[in-house]
Every structure is written in structure tokens, then in C-alpha cells.
Structure 1
Amino acid sequence: MKRNKIIGIALISILIGINSYAQKNKYTIDAGKVPACTHVHLDDFPHHKAVPIIKGWGGMAVDINNAPAGTDFTPLLHGLENNHCQVPHWGYIIEGSIKVMYEDGSEELFAKGEAFFMKPGHTGIVLEDLFLVSFSPEDAMEELIKHIEKRVDELNSSSASK
């Protein structure tokens, strides 16, 4: 019960942060376009995608990320602007930790129990088996996911030909 309260408080804080960032950087959350069902279970996320995502949350998308320790997201971002993800993410680390590296050379560590904002221009390396939930602008996430799925196919093709 305590864990659920902590997660609830973190998600409310994240959504407030999303709203203020959205206004500043012209991301728009449209509460009129939020679905009638405003909650999802982990089992509701697609299991066949590189990034399990559910769209239609008033201009935002919610995704979950499970990645083992040692996962480096950098190869998946190759070909994007500055080879870094340019999509902002707000989220909560349920398990594990990730080191996030930004284009400007700065780094942050996000760990279990922390709400986070991952600014545009980032990549990351998973330090401990990671399980997180994040919210991001829907249109930007759709483009990012297309790129990641293309990169996964390219990387799988190149490793299969060796």
C-alpha cells in the first residue's frame, strides 16, 4: 500500500511537471482528449514492440522500459540528431538504475524510487536491471519508436550476416 501511495504521488508530480514544461516548450496536453479509461495495467502494454507504449493520453504517451544491466541505448539512437534522443521524458524508476549522458557532457543517475525528467539530447546505460514508466509527447515518441525499430532491424541484420 505504501509503495502504491509513493508511486501515485510521484506520478502526480510528474504530470504537474509535464504541464509546466509543456507550456514553456510548446508541448500541449489536451485533457479533453484523455481516454475514458485513465489507467492501464502492465499486461495492457504491447509485448511485441521494442518500446512498449500506449498512446492517446491527451497528447502524451506512456511507456514502460525493462532493460538488463549493461544495456547501452546509444546504438539505437545512431542517426538521430547528434545521435541522441531528442524527446523529453518524465517518469519513475520502479527498479534498478540508469546513467543518463547528455550532449553537453553532463551526466545524471536515476535510481529506484526516483521520479525523473530526462531532457532532450540524451542517451543512457543501464547500471542495474531497469524497470521504469515514463510519459513523453506522443508525436515525438512515435517518430522515436519508428527510428528505434528500424535500428533494431539494422543491428539484427548486421549481426546475422557475421
Structure 2
Amino acid sequence: MTAATRNDVPVVIEGNGVEVRTKPIGGDLSVGFIRLPKGTHMGPAMQGLPGDACQCPHWGYLIKGRVKMHTPSGDDIYEAGQAYYWEPGHVPEALEDSEFVEFSPTGDFAAVVDHVKAQMG
């Protein structure tokens, strides 16, 4: 079995208060520890992906804050204390300083991380 704490997981994206930490944790899943400051809209970083949206599914838990998830079928708001599933085709926007932990297919998440890092230049 594998376990990880936030501090055990390397930072893969950092800037403007955004912090993404991810590490394979077992099988084909990676754990992600994500922080988005209030007002962060990931839309610009998703430009160029299919549908200009994250194409990786995520299962997770919102520890702190509120996040609006933009999807082709409409927007949903998630709040601290909620577990979630975000299907491919989403773009997060932090309505408050937010922190969440999620589990995602390693290859799919790595592709999104690489794209976002390239957009950040």
C-alpha cells in the first residue's frame, strides 16, 4: 500500500498563488493536492486542449473554499466538505481561496499538467 501527505508530494505547478502537487500513488492513479486562490480561473491555462477544458477525470474532496466548475452542460458550485467527481470537459474557477485533494488517472493528469505548464511559459 502507498500513502502520501501533501508535503511528500512534489510541486509540479506553482505561480500566482496556484499550487499543484501530484504523485503516482498506486495502479494508474495519482494523488493531487491543489490550492487555488480566490479569483483563479483556469480557462486561459486550458486553451488549446480539446474543448479548451481539462480532459482528465478527477475524484476528490474539497477541503477549503468554493469552486465553480464550468462544463458544456452548465456550471456547478462545490463547497468545502463535499466529495466530487469532475468528468472530462471542465474548467475550474475559485470563488474563494480553495484547497482540494483528488485522485486522477496518472497519464491523463500528466498530460493536463504538461499543457498548463507550457501555457504558463
- Structure-to-structure mapping, 1:25-36, within 5 angstroms: 36=1
Structure with the bigger RCO (C-alpha within 8 Å, sep 6+) is 2
TM-score computed with the length of structure 1 as normaliser: 0.68
Structure 2 Cα separation of the partners of residues 99 and 70 of structure 1: 10
For 2:49, the equivalent position in structure 1 comes to 80
Using the TM superposition, give the Cα deviation of residue 44 of structure 1 relative to its aligned residue in structure 2, in angstroms. Answer: 0.5
Gap regions ≥5 residues in structure 1: 1-35, 154-162
For 1:63, the equivalent position in structure 2 comes to 32
Indicate the SS of the match to 1:128.
coil
Query: In the alignment, is residue 118 of structure 1 matched against residue 74 of structure 2?
Result: no
Structure 1 Cα separation of the partners of residues 5 and 21 of structure 2: 12
Which one has the bigger strand percentage? 2
TM-score computed with the length of structure 2 as normaliser: 0.90
Structure 1 Cα separation of the partners of residues 61 and 87 of structure 2: 14
* Length, aligned pairs only: 115
Gap regions ≥5 residues in structure 2: 14-19
Greater gyration radius: 1
The question of whether the paired residues in 2 share the 8 Å contact of 1:86 and 1:122 is answered with: yes
The question of whether the paired residues in 1 share the 8 Å contact of 2:66 and 2:77 is answered with: yes
- Structure-to-structure mapping, 1:5-154, within 5 angstroms: 36=1, 38-47=2-11, 49-50=12-13, 51-104=20-73, 106-153=74-121
Using the TM superposition, give the Cα deviation of residue 45 of structure 1 relative to its aligned residue in structure 2, in angstroms. Answer: 1.4
The question of whether the paired residues in 1 share the 8 Å contact of 2:28 and 2:106 is answered with: yes
The question of whether the paired residues in 2 share the 8 Å contact of 1:99 and 1:126 is answered with: yes
Structure 1 ranges of 4+ moved more than 6 A: none
